[in-house]
Structures are given as C-alpha cells and as structure tokens.
Structure 1
Amino acid sequence: MDHCAQPSLLPIEEALARICNQLNPVQGTETIDLHHALDRVLAFPISAPINVPAGDNSAMDGYAVRVQDCTETLTVIGQALAGHPFSEEIGAGQSVRIMTGALVPAGADTVVMQENVQRHGDQLTITHLPEAGENIRRAGEDITLGSEVIAAGQRLSALDIGLLASLGLAQATVVRRLRVAILTTGDELLPAGAAPEAGKIYDSNRPLLAALLTRLPVEVMDLGVITDNLTALRSAFITAMQWADVVISTGGVSVGDADYTKDVLAELGEIDFWKIAMKPGKPFAFGRLGQGWFFGLPGNPVSTAVTYHQLVVPGLRHLAGETISVQQTLTAIAGQPLKKQPGRTDFQRGVLSNNNGVNTVMSAGLQSSGVLSAMAQANCYIRLEAERGSVAAGESVCVIPFDEFIR
C-alpha cells in the first residue's frame, strides 16, 4: 500500500465533483470584437442571421443551363462571376457562362462543368448530360437562417471566429474574464534572475502558472513570493481576496511547522478539503476565501503542474461558464515496466507514440514530483487507477494526451 494513502484522502473524481458543484459560473458579460474573442466563452447562443450560402451558387466553373434543354445546341447569352451575377432570366435554349461561387441565374436549374461541353463562339454543345441540380450549392446548404450556430458556454476557437465572420457578425457577447491572483510561499525561493544562494531554489511555480493561465480567459494578479510568515501571508491573501475571483497559491499546504496557509484560510475563509488520493499532489487544498475561491497547490513543481491541470483548470473553465467535454483518453501498451503502489490514482508522465497503428507509451523519465525536466519531455499522462499496482511491460494502460492547457 502507498505509504501516503490514507482512508481520509479524497478520491480525485470526488474532489473534482465537489469543486465544480460549488463553483457557480460568473454572470458578468461583455461584447467584444471578433479579433479579440479567441478562447473567450460565449455568453449566449448565436443563431444565423442569414443563409450560408446566401443564394444558390455554382460549385464549378462551367455553364448554367436548364436541364431539359441539354440535348440541344444552346446559345451563350452572358456570364456570371462571383460577386457579379447575371441579372436576366435564362430562357429555352439559352445558357450562361458561370464561375465557381457565382449566383445561379434565374431560370437555370443545373451547372454543367466546362470539361463536359464544346463551345464554338456563342454556341454550346453538351457532351455529357447532367442530372437536374448538378453542381449547384443551395442557399442555406451550409447554415440555415435562424439555426443555432454556436451554443452558449462554448470557448471560441479560431474556426468559430471564422464561422461567425462568415455570417457577417463583427462582435460576440462573452463571459467576462475571471480574475485570478497567484502567489508562491517559502523562505527558500528566489526569483528568476537573482544570484544563487546557499539553501535557496528558484521559484518555477509562479512563472509556470502565469504561463499556463494565458490559455484561459483570465486576468492575472501576480503577488510574488511570500515568505513563511503568518502576517505576510495574511496580508497577501487579504490583498488577493479584495480583487480576485480565485486565488491560487503553491506551497504551504503540507504539514510542516512553517506551512501557514491552512491557518490563514481558517481565519479568512473555509477549507472544503486539503488532501486527495492523487500522486503527485496529495496536499491540495480547496475552499472559500472571502467571496471568492481558493486553490492551494503543492510546492513541488510537478505536483503544482499536475494538480493545476487536473483540478484547477476544470474548475476555472466551469467558473468561466464553459461547457466542458470529457477529457480525452486513449488505451496504450506499456513499453516498459511502471512502478506503482496501490492506494492513490497516479498520473505518471509519459511519451506516447503510435507504431503501425498501436499506441505505445514509455515513461518520460524520473517520476519524482521535483523533476520538472521529465514532465517537459512528456506528451501525456499515464493514468494508473488507485487500486492498481505496478505495471508489467505489455500491459494496457489509460493515457491522457497533453492538451493546450498544460503545453
């Protein structure tokens, strides 16, 4: 049994459910230009104000005709170009030269591709008879007027923005950005760029979190490194809670003599839970802080990254009003033995590859929660169930590919 596994540890699935069940999505909205809307969460559903295409148009370069006339020699009476329609109606025995994307002239019901005709001057002979409606893209074939195009709660992708632009929309109403304050705790921490000192380490957690948070619709307040001092920590939390919807700290949620985070939270807020059956990341805290919320992440950098990705990201996306899909998982063959003790769900860092159609995963290296270099080389988690022990080479395992929220 994992020596860190205890009956009081909360399973990760229950921890995530408790987080999302308590976080009510923020209500504020703003209307913004589309070129600022990438990765913002849509506040209200959008219905199509027009048909796409707006009218019947040609899918080919060729000739617009009446299918009933196609056995005759036809007279070409004009041309239709994209953006420059032919304004008259086609009559019996007539055709119009038409280019891809041009509106089909009134009276025509078919477009014959240019490879299937012979033309001499204004006389046209069709060498391969078409079917009625051939090579015509119908009005509303892509998007029908009044249909829902994008649902509320969708995080807008570049393709979504292109889709909205194709409807003539220049703006979208989105959920306001979350306000997130971040801080790290510990007398041992140095900021990047400082001269090395004996007994000190560089703070990687705050730069890591600040970078990862740019993938979400948030504003960030960086409160820096807070020393292991109850007064300093209380002051930082008071500053954060006056502005932020969410405060994220790293370090200080373990059981050390100088870990004051739980004490300050007990004074200023309320802890829901602070230990989970997860590796890495057992000392993880969640609760209220004033009118907002608090996530306390472990101090080791890999534990910070994994708990942020698996617990904080879903919480923030839910709080931002996003409708979240189920996390993608794959089944892979372990390419080597993997060590594990039963007791906690383990998120080992791996390298996933596909060889001749078979998913294979290898360990990314040392699995210590302090070895960030191995996680930087990984492209997935190897998710080993709480009750599972060590894995032999060739066994099937569950793999979670890294997404944009951790890369």
Structure 2
Amino acid sequence: MSNTWTPVQTALAAIQNLVSPITDTESIDLFSALDRVLAESVFASINVPGFDNSAMDGYAVRAVEANTRMPLQVVGNAYAGHTFVGELPAASCVRIMTGAQLPTGTDAVIMQEQVERTDEQIICQTDLQVGDNVRLCGSDIKQGTTILTAGQRLTPVHLGLLASIGIAHVKVVRKLKVALFSNGDELIQPGQSLPSSSHLYDSNRFVLNGMLQRLNVEIHDLGRIPDNPKALEDVFKQAMQSADVVISSAGVSVGDADFTKDVMSKLGHIEFWKIAMKPGKPFAFGKLGSSWFCGLPGNPVAAVVTMNQIVQPMLRNLAGEQCSAVTTFTAEASCVINKRPGRTDFQRGYFEQKEGKLFARPVGSQSSALLTSVARANCFIILEQDRDSVSAGESVTIQPFDRFMI
C-alpha cells in the first residue's frame, strides 16, 4: 500500500480489475424485478403484435376499393379481442376499433373522421395506401430476436417488454449485501437531543443509505460505532461474515482517533487509502476476508462524492450490471471557478441552457462539510487533476446528476 495519492481513474481501473461480479442468481416474478440486474439474455418466443391490427378507430377496407370513392357496405364489427369472422364481400368494409385484428381480405384502415357515413354505408374522403393505420404482425418485436441482454438493470419499460412476450418470471443476479455504519464519538442519531455543542447529528448514514437503496441492494445498517479500536474490530468481524461489501463513513483520515487503517491491517488489507480527488481524499479500499471494504470520508459532501464516483460504479460492477459510460457534457463556465492543481475536483454546480449553449457555475460554498451545496446542485463540474482555476468563458466538463444521485 502506497502513501501517495491515487489518481481517480487509476483507482477506478484498479477496482474494476480487482472486483469480479457475483454469479449467484434467482428467479423472481416481474412485480419484484424492478431495478434488479438481469442474469441471462431474453429472446422473444412470439411476435408482438401477434397479428395485423388497427392503429386507430375507423373502418377496415381494401385500399383500392376505398380510393374509388364508391360506397362501401359496413358488414360487421371488429373489437380488440373479438375478431370479425368470415370473408369480406366486394365493395364492403368492417367497423374496427383500435387494437382489433385486421379482418381477412382488408389491407388498410380509414380513420372514422375521414369517412362520410350514411346508414350502413361509408364513402372514403381521403387517399389511402396499403398498410395505412395498420400495425403489422411483429412490427414491435419479432419472434427470435434478443429483447434484453444479461447485465441490464431492469426498468419499468423492460418489465413491460417482458410481459408483452408472456414472461412472468425472470432470472436475476441476487441482491448485493452491503453493511453500512458511521464511525465517531461525536455522532448522534436524529431524533435524540444533542448532549453538547461538540456533538452533531449523523447525516452520512442516511444519505448513503438512500444512495444504496437506489441500487436495490440488501442493506445491513450497523448504526454508529464509537472511536474505539475494539468496537471497530468487532463491527468489522460482524460485517465481514455476511456482507459482500462493508462501507464505513469517517475514521479513514490520519487523526489520532482514526483507527480504521490499523484494524484493517489486522483483519484484511487496504489496496489504497488516499485518492487525488476533492472532496474525498481520505478514501480507503481493500478486502476484509471475502468482503470488499470501502472507507468513506467523514465530511458529508466528501462521503457523497466518493460514494457516487467510486463506490456506486464498483457496486454496479459487482452486481453484474453492464454499465454504459458516464454521461458528460462540455459547458461554458459562467463565472470564475477556483481550483488548485493536484487533485481532480468535483465541484457541485448548476448548469442550464441558454440560446443553445450550456453554462455552468459552482453552487454555494464548496466546503466538503456542507450538504446544502449538493442539495442545490444539478451536476458535478469536473476539473482535471492538473488544472488550475477556470476563468469565465472557459470550457468545463459537467456530469449531470443521475437517478443514483438525486
């Protein structure tokens, strides 16, 4: 383990190389599958739609007959789930509702607003092409095609796709088990009175718990652990027995009461424990038995940033999710942005579009202790490790907050 600061991209690459996705799977019903990671690709066993059907309410016709403007006799009705049965005589049509199967012999649908109807006859008032207002069999999904691939995190639309081909149960990767605790004598559970002016409420555990919920993991909340080596060792031993990942908040800096490094050296090992990022330099990553360990900084914003930039990508990889590249954009700095070279800076910012251009500015104080800067922001302004302060009008990279952040 080196005492030098690990660049952010180096840390991410190291974690990517070290962590292998879990392989345990389970079959669950669709109603329970939202935000789970698909364990195997899914292929369509049927066409969707399974038959040619009407895209709107109107009349099913032969286009060539309708275009003559001859009167067409209405000989029946077709409703969704109730097909018109029989041969269609010449110079006739069928009243049809949206989703109903196209009657045999018809090849187009006239919108009901585009006909003149008298008693049981209609006259087409527009020019039709074969296939107008018809949804063809297999036009959405063709039998045998790949619908979803292994590693996708299932969205509400994915669940609808699976249901549309008749699938009621799906094989997913089992949920990750994540143990979470905060470290510090000064921390008090919300809802209790602060014993003194030197105490503060534990906000980190709640924001981190929320970020973990967005990943749909199984959370083991171990509460607050005091600044005591024995207590810390005990909770590590407890967590490493059942969790895939152990996440702590605070205790990984270099203060006299930061015991994590020593306890980790006894029970496991640390791969790196300082990252060249701001906020978030005191971040530890290593192994506790068969569990992975992520030691987050104690300052709330630093904990949020390292959780979002380092831990969440690792958890998604561990869960078997095939993640796409992080979405970033180039924006113009709308004011001076202060920075010193040496660390990649994730400033909390606000971006907006004006006259076709993106503009970004930092939001409030960039202190790593102030969560309000995150609450008021909608993006990270990412300033490269070697970059100095930014002048107004310079280009900067922004990363809009995603669903795992807000």
What secondary structure is seen at the aligned counterpart in 2 of 1:153? Answer: coil
The two structures have a TM-score, normalised by structure 1, of: 0.95
Deviates more, 1:63-72 or 1:365-374: 63-72
CA distance in 1, matches of 2:175, 2:155: 16
- How far 1:129 moved relative to its partner? 3.4
Measured in 2, the distance between the counterparts of 1:74 and 1:224 equals 76
Q: How many residues align?
A: 402
Structure 1 residue 61: Cα displacement: 2.1
Report how far residue 257 of structure 1 moved. 2.1
- Structure 2: gaps of 5 or more residues: none
Higher alpha-carbon deviation: 352-361 or 147-156: 352-361
* Structure 2 CA distance for partners of 1:330 and 1:7, relative to 1, 3 Å: farther
In structure 1, give the amino acid aligned to 2:398. V
Query: For residues 101-112 of structure 1, what are the structure 2 equivalents within 5 Å?
Result: 101-112=99-110
Mapped contact 1:75–1:124 kept (Cα < 8 A):
yes
- CA distance in 2 between counterparts of 1:129 and 1:371 reads 65
Percent identity, please: 53
State whether structure 2 residue 57 is matched by structure 1 residue 61: yes
Aligned-partner Cα distance in 2 for 1:116–1:404: 45
- Checking the alignment, whether the CA contact within 8 Å between 2:3 and 2:274 is kept in structure 1 is no
1:118 aligns with: 116
Residue 354 of structure 1 aligns to a residue whose secondary structure is: strand
What amino acid is aligned across from residue 319 of structure 2 in structure 1? A
Cα shift readout 1:48-93 (whole Å, capped 9, x = no counterpart): 2221111000113222222343324332211111121101122332
Alignment partner, residue 6 of structure 2: 10
Match of residue 45 from structure 1: 41
Corresponding residue for residue 212 of structure 1: 211
Which 10-residue stretch deviates more, 233-242 or 144-153?
Answer: 144-153
Following the alignment from structure 2 to structure 1, what is the Cα–Cα distance between the partners of residues 283 and 140?
Answer: 47
Range with greater deviation from structure 2 (38-47 or 303-312): 38-47
Q: What are the residue-to-residue correspondences of 1:316-395 with 2, within 5 Å?
A: 316-395=315-394
Partner residue, 1:155: 153
| Greater mean deviation of Cα atoms: 162-171 or 265-274 | 162-171
Distance 1:129 1:349, change over 3 A: closer
**Structure 1 equivalent of residue 272 of structure 2:** 273
SS of 1:348 mapped into structure 2: strand
**Whole-Å separation in 1 of the counterparts to 2:353 and 2:213:** 30
Separation in 2, partners of 1:241, 1:173: 27
SS in 1 for 2:104: coil
Q: Distance in 2 between matches of 1:190 and 1:111?
A: 68
**Deviation larger for 352-361 or 34-43:** 352-361
Root-mean-square deviation (CA), in Å?
1.6
Q: Offset at 1:128? A: 2.7
Distance 1:53 1:189 in 2: 58
- Secondary structure in structure 1 of the residue aligned to 2:276: strand
Relative distance call for 1:375 and 1:124 in structure 2 (3 A) is closer
Mapped contact 1:65–1:90 kept (Cα < 8 A): no
**Structure 1 counterpart of 2:261:** 262
Is 1:77 the counterpart of 2:51? The answer is: no
Query: Residue 10 of structure 1: SS of its match in structure 2?
Result: coil
Contact 1:178 1:320 in 2 (8 A): yes
For 1:265 and 1:186, how far apart are their aligned partners in 2? 17
Q: CA deviation at 1:7?
A: 9.1
- The farther-off stretch of 53-62 and 166-175 is 166-175
Deviations 1:133-179 (A, max 9, x none): 22211000011112111111111111111222222322222111100
Question: What residue ranges of structure 1 are gaps of 5+ in the alignment?
Answer: 1-5
Matched residue, 1:398? 397
**1:305-341 CA distances to partner (integer Å, 9 max, x unpaired)?**
0000000000001101111111111111212111100
2:264 touches 2:270 (CA, 8 Å); kept in 1? yes
Please give the alpha-carbon distance, in whole angstroms, between the structure 2 residues aligned to 1:136 and 1:349. 50
- The whole-number CA distance in structure 2 between the counterparts of 1:114 and 1:131 is 16
Alignment partners' CA distance in 2, 1:204 and 1:74: 72
Secondary structure of 1:394's partner? coil
1:24 and 2:23 aligned? no
Alpha-carbon distance between aligned partners in 2 of 1:380 and 1:198, rounded to the nearest angstrom: 33
**Is the contact between residue 232 and residue 263 of structure 2 (CA under 8 Å) also seen in structure 1?**
yes
Task: After superposing the two structures, state which structure 1 stretch, 243-252 or 108-117, moved more.
Answer: 108-117
In structure 2, distance between residues paired with 1:401 and 1:273: 28
* Matched residue, 1:3: none
Q: 3-state SS of the aligned residue for 1:107?
A: coil
